[in-house]
Amino acid sequence: MPQAALIKNNDGFTLIELMVAVIIVAVGMFGVLETVNVTLQHNLKNELRNEAIKVGEQYMAEFRGTNFASITDSYPSLNIDRKVRGVSKQYVVERSSQVLARDGALQPTTKQVTVVVKWAFRNLTSQNRVVSVMAQP
């Protein structure tokens, strides 16, 4: 048999080369998928925080609209449900106030009001605090 007939055809990939290529592509795809997952989690965390800020500002606006004399030292905690990405999420709202200054008759003239909004995400509790000072008109 002539020598030319024994030359192997080297066109294409061997099975080992194909498996190595598949593994390299798979590792790359896992990296891309993990990046997408982390990005979605960070975006959801930011949306939850933004909703908590809205809730805190809403209750602070109620404080500002309240008669100064009717603002008490403490209020019961409230559980508020809000929709984030179509799913109901629970926020806990804690409101309080403290007297900062009094007049000569020991009547409050300035109060600090605080609204704290708490929420949980991935077994971690976060909070947003809104503080304002109100003076007797």
- The predicted-structure confidence for 28-73, as pLDDT tens digits, reads as follows 999 999 999 999 999 999 999 999 999 999 999 998 999 988 998 8
Rounded (10°) CA dihedral 40, 42, 61, 59? 90
The model's pTM is 0.77
Contacts of 127 (CB under 8 A, 6+ apart): 52, 116, 117, 118, 119
Residue 10, pLDDT > 80, answer no
Q: Which sequence spans correspond to the domains of the chain? A: 13-135
**pLDDT reported for residue 2:** 55
Q: Report the mean per-residue pLDDT for the chain.
A: 90
Residue 25, pLDDT > 60, answer yes
Contacts of 20 (CB under 8 A, 6+ apart): none
**pLDDT reported for residue 3:** 56
**pLDDT reported for residue 129:** 96
